[in-house]
Amino acid sequence: MIGAMTDPETPAPTPTVRRARTGTASATKAKATPKKPAARKRKPADPAKAWVRSLARTRPGLVPFVNDALAGMYGHPVWQRVHDPTSELVLTILSQNSADTNAEQAFESLRRAYPGVPATPGMPRAAWPGAQGAQPEGTPPEEARAADRAAAPRINRPGWGGIGLEDAITPDWDAVEQAPIAELTDAIRPGGLANQKAPRIQSALRTIREATGSHSLEFLGAMPALAARDWLTAIDGIGRKTASVVLLFSFGTPLMPVDRHVERVSLRIGLIPPKATADEAHELYLAMLEPDQMHEAHVNLIQHGRRTCHARKPACDACAVAPRCRFIDRRAP
Cβ atoms of 76 and 153 within 8 Å: the answer is no
User: Are residues 100 and 160 in contact, defined by beta-carbon separation less than 8 angstroms?
Assistant: yes
Three-class DSSP category at 166: strand
35, 259, 279, 317: the active-site residue = 259
Angle in degrees, CA 181, 186, 190, rounded to 5: 135
Strand-pairing partners, residue 155, are: 165
Q: What's the rounded Cα separation, in Å, for the pair 247 and 229?
A: 8
Coil vs helix vs strand at 213: coil
Alpha helices (H) in the chain, listed in sequence order? 24-31, 47-58, 62-74, 85-95, 100-113, 141-151, 173-178, 181-187, 194-212, 225-233, 240-251, 260-269, 278-288, 294-307
Residue 259: active-site member:
yes
Q: What are residue 166's DSSP bridge partners?
A: 154
Largest distance between two CA atoms of the chain: 147
241 is annotated as an active-site residue? yes
> In 270-323, where does DSSP find H-type helix?
278-288, 294-307
Contact 46, 287 (CB under 8 A): yes
Catalytic pick among 241, 313, 317, 329? 241
Catalytic residue positions, numbered:
241, 259
